[in-house]
Structure 1
């Protein structure tokens, strides 16, 4: 398909998504005639902003529309650029709900469309496609804000719930890419919206996003305290049920509290919180994805290893990986979780001086979810360490990955 003109590629993917020209045009805010001319090559498609919007609606990487392989791009330095940062910032600075309080609400996007878009955004995140996600975020934020401002009555809670999820998605990917201030802003917004959605579990997950951003900004102690406060309120038992959603949210709060405690060097609290999360995971029975948490027994062990790395005990992290994480269960996790763990392992191996295995973990993570390795500042630090401590020339695969990452050999 690489040899096809771009308009033909658009037509191909539109057909794959079972969208008529009229429906596709409506979602783009264009006329059916405009779509027809683009697909026939009569009208040029040369604006990247329009290309990104088309890719978002068709649920494909924009590179596919350009006839390129999205997995082989040397685009580490373009995982998120300053133009995209400013577009996301502008979207986060909108106050549609307040404007609607004084004026007539805008025509809201249909909630069915929003549900599909939010679901796709979560999957894009959990498959580690951060560049694709950051390009789609500005429009998704605007649409979710318009839906929240424009729907009332029985639909208002669902609209708020969807907006809260979009803020959480934005916070998670922005934190990974090093935009910590914006990650905190998005997470803080998600907590406020979760209260309007009247969903304590959504508020619990929003708490973990806020606390992750706080830890990234060098504020682990208030992050630990907030995680524990909300975990205690949501804990199963008493008046609280023990359904899978509650167990997952409660367990994730404990795990994120453990990570904050690890940043403080408090190993005793780390052990207590991870063991508490382990008990919740055993009640759950298996790794699941309620509230997009990926919580379960295997994910608990991934956090046990990650906390060991934060505590500076790389040997313990490697031991946890080898002795406590069953490979078949690990392989059932989503790519972001697995690649994140391999990055933690790379850090652990580097801490014990095993730069060969550290490099191998980076390569394995890159094969799973390239953006998790190529786009994250912490991965660049590990690669720099591997290159600096490798005797002689680095292996060719490591050198190639370093080049893709923009890390000098």
Structure 2
């Protein structure tokens, strides 16, 4: 189902009108302009004048930026969100400043290492706010400690904390901060002399960028693991193939997608079971199926995606963050199939399961916009969901 064009004001007027459950006639009766003009503006046949936009905004009770600004305006972070990410940014900036003279007490090394692992676990459980609150202090303590008493376990823990900072920033829609965190992860992983950690960092960079440099990053990750034969290395190598499949899907290269998914399946057979303990990647056959679904969505092969989504059986042990992502993907493909009620149900389930993550997933907004486009008058539940994401 084609989504409405976000590029003109008329499509946003139609979207906001439907969210307020108004027909074109009902909106036209509230503004000093004709129904004919409103109809032409909504379909893009006529441009909206500033006076027309102002009148519609007053009638709908919204700011004019909702109707004229780029769609990303609604995704700008709130002050509350900035309050979460600003301390993380400050902690990342201390990476090369040496020991911190302002620290009066630092936890013992075993506790710092355990905390880095615990925060990784919190993000996988979709407890983003709790992880974001604790992360800056941990990074500051780890940074101070690696400068005063460096060791391989400490460098690994710091790399893990930086990786968690990347995950939090990305899930909260701060890709610029996620890039900084990945740079720091590479810096720490290199000092840990840990090829698997370095390869995970290349995987994360490739997925974040998804551009011309992504495939060389995947290749360099595999090169780092060329001499490694451990279960850990096999799982990371398999995850790199999943990253390559994701990049290939963006480029609509179905052959490359199939090749990399097949390579990942072979490695999953060798790993045996789901490698949840390996760098928190959850590499295994179910994760491969989830990536196959994501690739079909990226290539807009929604018939394939619908079959894949409905066939997927997630184990009870599936991490909350991955389960929420699946629910949003399922909602998207159900919407594309015209099943509005089913789509909204899955979206509501994702919101209930992992609200912080679901709110910032791009697929959430895409699905809501599609559902609004399908509805002559958006039901209250859809209107509430749209307000929740800032539409």
Scaled to the shorter chain, the TM-score interval is: 0.7 to 0.9
For 1:190, the equivalent position in structure 2 comes to 185
Distance 1:383 1:340, change over 3 A: same
1:234 equivalent to 2:222? Answer no
1:171 equivalent to 2:166? Answer yes
For 2:346, the equivalent position in structure 1 comes to 361
The correspondence of residues 238-387 of structure 1 with structure 2, limited to 5 A, is: 239-241=227-229, 243-289=230-276, 290-323=278-311, 325=312, 327=313, 329-387=314-372
Distance 1:313 1:185, change over 3 A: same
1:171–1:184 contact (8 Å) kept in structure 2: yes
* Root mean square deviation of aligned Cα: 2.6
The correspondence of residues 41-120 of structure 1 with structure 2, limited to 5 A, is: 81-95=81-95, 97-100=96-99, 108-120=106-118
For 1:122, the equivalent position in structure 2 comes to 120
Q: CA deviation at 1:391?
A: 3.5
More deviation, 278-287/195-204? 278-287
TM-score of the two chains, using structure 1 as the length reference: 0.71
Match of 2:215 among 205, 208, 224: 224
For 2:134, the equivalent position in structure 1 comes to 136
Greater RCO between the two (CA within 8 Å, min separation 6)? Answer: 2
1:314–1:347 contact (8 Å) kept in structure 2: no
**What whole-Å deviation, never above 9, does each CA across 1:112-169 have from its counterpart, x for those lacking one?**
11122112211110011222222222222212212222223xxx11111000001101
1:148–1:159 contact (8 Å) kept in structure 2: yes
Which whole-Å CA distance do the structure 2 matches of 1:157 and 1:185 have between them?
Answer: 22
Unaligned runs of 5+ in 2: 1-75
More deviation, 342-351/156-165? 342-351
Give the 4+ runs in structure 1 shifted more than 4 A: 76-80, 103-108
Which whole-Å CA distance do the structure 1 matches of 2:102 and 2:139 have between them?
Answer: 20
TM-score of the two chains, using structure 2 as the length reference: 0.74
2:154 partner SS: helix
Which whole-Å CA distance do the structure 2 matches of 1:250 and 1:332 have between them?
Answer: 23
- How many residues were matched structurally? 315
1:168–1:187 contact (8 Å) kept in structure 2: yes
Distance 1:249 1:368, change over 3 A: same
Q: CA deviation at 1:91?
A: 1.3
